[in-house]
Structure 1
Amino acid sequence: MVPSPQEVKDALQERLLGHLAHSDPGYQALLQEYPSRGGKRLRGLLVVYAGLAHGASLEASLWAGAALELFQNWVLIHDDIEDGSEERRGRPALHRLYPMPLALNAGDALHGEMWGLLVQGLEAGILPPPVLAEFHQVVRRTAYGQHLDLLWTLSGRLDLSPGDYFRMVAHKAAYYTAVAPLRLGALLAGQTPPSLYEEAGLKLGIAFQIMDDVLNLEGDEAYGKELAGDLYEGKRTLILIRYLQEAPPEERTRAEALLRLPREAKPEAEVRWLWERLLASGAVAWAKEEAKRLAHKALDALIPHLEQLPGRDAASHLQALLTALVERRA
C-alpha cells in the first residue's frame, strides 16, 4: 500500500533529524534548526512518489528523498546568508539567530551530511550508483544559477530580459525542484530517465519559481518568508523585469536607483512605493499567466507518460504534487 503524503513527510522528518543527531547539543541544534521547522517537504515527496511510481522500493525512495531534503536545507542556509534574508519558514533566518560564521558552517555541515547519506545508501546496496551522479548535477546546476542571480544583483545589472530570467531559474531552482525528482524516480528503479523529464520538468520548475516570486509580493502568513523580501534583496524576478520594460521613464529611473542600493540602504518608504507599483501594474498578472502557460504545457506532456508507470497509485500522488507546484497547494 502506498503511504499517504503525511506519512511520507513524517518518515522524511524522522530520517532527517535522526541523521543529524550529534553528541554536542549546541551543534545539533544548529544542524537541525531548518529541518525541524518542517516545511512542505515538496521535493522529498516528489522523489518518494516518483520512485514508487517507477517501481523502486519505499526504502530507496525515502533514502533519496531525505538526501534531496538535506540539499534543500543547506542551500537555503547559504542562500539566506548570501541574500541577507531576514526570515525562513516563518522564523528568523539562521544567520539572524546565530553568528553568521556558525550559520555558514552549519550549511557546510549539512552539505557534507547529504553526501554521507548518499554514500551510506550506496554502500548498503539501497541506492544505485547513478543516483550519486544525479546529485552532482543538482549541486552544479543550482550553484551556477545562484551565481547568475547573485552576479546580476552585485553588478547592478538591470538590462535583463525574460529569457535571462528563464535561463537563470532553469539552473537555480527548476532543476532540483522538478527535474531531479523525476529523474531520480527512474534511476532508483534502475531505468534510464526519458528526455521528457528534463524538458517538462524545467517548465514546471520555472513556473513554480515564478509563483514563488508572486507570493513574495502577494503572500500571507503561510508564505513563510519575508514579504517583499525580493525587493530588499534586489532580486531580478520575472515580475520586476516585466515592470521595468513597461514602466514610464521616470518610474523606471526611480526604481532602478532603489534597486542599485544595498539592502541596508534601501529606504522602507521607497521599497513600499515599488511594491505598490508592481502590484498595481500588469506585471504580476502577466507573470502568473506565464507560469500557467508553462505548467499546462509541461503537464500535457507528462501526464500521459505518468499514467503508464507501473506504480499507479504512487503515480497519481506524483501527478497531484506536480499539478500543485504552480497552484502552490503542495
Structure 2
Amino acid sequence: MTTTLPAPVGAAQALVQPALRKAVAELHPSMRRIVGYHLGWTDELGHPASDGGGKALRPTLALLSARAVGADADVALPGALAVELVHNFSLVHDDVMDGDEERRHRPTVWKLYGVPAAILAGDAMLTLAVEVLGPAADPAAVRCLTDAVQELIVGQAEDIEFEECGAVDLAQCLEMAAGKTGALMRCATEIGAVLGGGTPEQVAALRAFGAHLGLAFQLVDDLLGIWGAPAVTGKPVLSDLRSRKKSVPVVAALNSQTREGAELALLYAEPEPSDEAQLREMARLVAESGALEWTRREARAQVLQAQGCLEHVGAPTEIDLSLRELAAFMTERDL
C-alpha cells in the first residue's frame, strides 16, 4: 500500500493551504469555527491542531493539469480552492446523511456541533467555492464547477435511494459512483486545463483522465469500506456493510448469480443491525462471489484508461510522470 505522499501533493498543499485559510477567514465566525475543525486546523475546543485535514488530492490534480497545458500552477489556484471546498462540502453533508460518527479518527461535524450546524457549514463551503473563482472567472470554469456539483448531488441521491431499493443493476451502480466521486475528479483536471488556457483537445483529454481516475478512486474506496483497516479509513471496520450500503462490490456480488450472492441478499434484507460475526460473513460472501476481484480488476482497467488519456495531452515529461504517479497513489491504497 502506498503511504508516502508524492512530491506534487506536498507542493500543492504548500500553495493551497495558505490560500484556503485566507478564504475561510472570510466566513462568519460561527461557520469559520466549524469549517476550521472539519479541515483539521483546530480541535474540538477550538485550539490549533496538527491534523492537516485531507491530502489535497483534487487541488493537486487541478494544479498539475494547468502545468500539463503549459501554464504556471498559480493560474489554476482559484479552481484548486473551489474543488477542495466542494469536496469538503460533500464530506460534511455525506456524514450527516450516512450517520457516520467518525472521520479522520475524530468526531464528525454533525456529531460534535449538531445536524443543523453541519448542514449550514457545508452550505457555507459550497457558496465559498463559487466565490473563490472570482467575479471575472472564465465562464467555462464556473460551468465546469456547477455541472460537477449537480452530478455529485445526483450521485449522492442515487446512493441513498439504492439503500432502500430492492434490486440495483451494476451498470446503475457504476453510473452512481461516476457521479458521486468521478464528477469532481473530472472537474479538478478540467478546471485546471481551462484556467491554464489549454486547447479543446487538451481540456477534453484531461477531463477524461479525471473521470476515469475518479471512478477508479471510488472503486478502491468501496473496497476500503468493507476491508479497509480503521487506521487507513478513519472509520469503523466493515462500515459499509454495517450501514447496508449498496457499494459497487456489494452490488456486483448481489448480481453475480452465485450462491454467495443469494446468501448475501438474504442477510442484506434483514432489518435488524448485524453483529460483528454477521458482518464478517457478509464480507466473506462478497469476496467469494467473485465481486472483490472483479472490483479490483475494474479499478485497474479505469486507471489504464486514465493513463491512455494522458497520451493526448502533450504534457511536459515531468508533469506527465507526476500525473501518472498521482494516479497510482490514489488507486493503490488497497490493490
Pick the TM interval, shorter chain.
Answer: 0.7 to 0.9
Relative to structure 1, the CA distance from residue 250 to residue 278 in structure 2 (aligned partners, 3 Å threshold; closer, same or farther) is: closer
Pairs aligned (count): 311
| CA drift at 1:23 | 8.2
How far residue 281 of structure 1 moved from its aligned partner, in angstroms, is 4.4
Q: Deviations over 1:133-174 (max 9, x none)?
A: 111111111111112111122xx2132222111111121111
Matching residue of 2:311: 304
Aligned to 2:300: 292
- The 2-side partners of 1:170 and 1:88 are apart by 22
After superposing the two structures, state which structure 1 stretch, 194-203 or 108-117, moved more.
194-203
Partner Cα distance (1:23, 1:176) in 2: 23
In the alignment, residue 227 of structure 1 is paired with which amino acid?
V
Residues 255 and 274, structure 1, Cα contact 8 Å, conserved in 2: yes
2-structure distance, mates of 1:42, 1:23: 24
Higher normalized helix content (fraction of residues):
1
Moved more, 91-100 or 267-276: 267-276
Shift of 1:199: 4.0
Cα distance change on mapping 1:252 and 1:222 into 2, 3 Å: closer
Unaligned runs of 5+ in 1: none
Aligned partner of 1:288: which letter? R
- Structure 2 Cα separation of the partners of residues 23 and 8 of structure 1: 23
Q: How does 1:116-265 map to 2 (within 5 A)?
A: 116-119=131-134, 122-123=135-136, 127-153=137-163, 156-177=164-185, 179-194=186-201, 195-220=204-229, 221-246=231-256, 247-248=258-259, 251-258=263-270, 261=271, 265=272
Separation in 2, partners of 1:42, 1:292 = 19
Alpha-carbon distance between aligned partners in 2 of 1:253 and 1:146, rounded to the nearest angstrom: 22
- The answer to whether the 8 Å contact 2:264/2:285 transfers is no
Could you say which residue in structure 2 is the equivalent of 1:97? 112
Higher deviation after alignment, 318-327 or 36-45: 318-327
**Larger deviation, residues 110-119 vs 188-197:** 188-197
Residue 227 of structure 1 deviates from its aligned partner by: 2.8
SS at the partner of 1:323?
helix
Taking a change above 3 Å as real, the CA distance of residues 217 and 159 of structure 1, as seen in their structure-2 partners, is same
Deviation at 1:322, TM superposition (A): 2.3
Aligned mates of 1:253, 1:293 — CA distance in 2: 27
Q: Distance in 2 between matches of 1:20 and 1:198?
A: 28
Structure 2, unmatched stretches of 5+, are 1-6, 41-51
- Give the corresponding residue for 1:317: 322
Aligned to 1:109: 124
Aligned position for 1:18: 22
Residue identity (%): 27
Give the Å deviation of 1:253. Answer: 4.5
- Return the alpha-carbon distance in structure 1 between the equivalents of residues 84 and 269 of structure 2: 38
Aligned counterpart for 1:278 among listed residues 270, 273, 286: 286
Alpha-carbon contact 1:48-1:61 (below 8 Å) kept: yes
Structure 1 residues 165 and 215 mapped into 2: Cα distance closer, same or farther (>3 Å)? same
Instruction: Tell which deviates more after alignment, 98-107 or 196-205.
Output: 196-205
Matching residue within 101, 105, 110 for 1:86: 101
TM-score, L = length of structure 1 = 0.85
**Residues of 1 paired with 2:304 and 2:27: CA distance?**
49
- Encode CA deviations 1:70-123: one digit per residue, 9 max, x unaligned: 11001111111111112212222111111111111111111111111112xx44
Deviations, residues 242-291 of structure 1 (Å, cap 9, x unaligned):
22234427614432323xx4xxx513343343234334543212211111
Q: Conserved in 2, the CA contact under 8 Å of 1:86 and 1:226? A: no
Partner of 1:328: 333
Amino acid at match of 1:189: G
Counterparts of 1:150 and 1:193, CA distance in 2: 36
What SS does the aligned partner of 1:317 have?
helix
Q: Report the TM-score, using the length of structure 2 for normalisation.
A: 0.84
**TM-fit CA distance, 1:55:** 2.2
Structure 2 residue 56 is matched with structure 1 residue 41: yes
Please identify runs of 4+ aligned residues in structure 1 that moved more than 6 A.
none
- Quick check: 2:9–2:60 contact (8 Å CA) kept in 1? yes
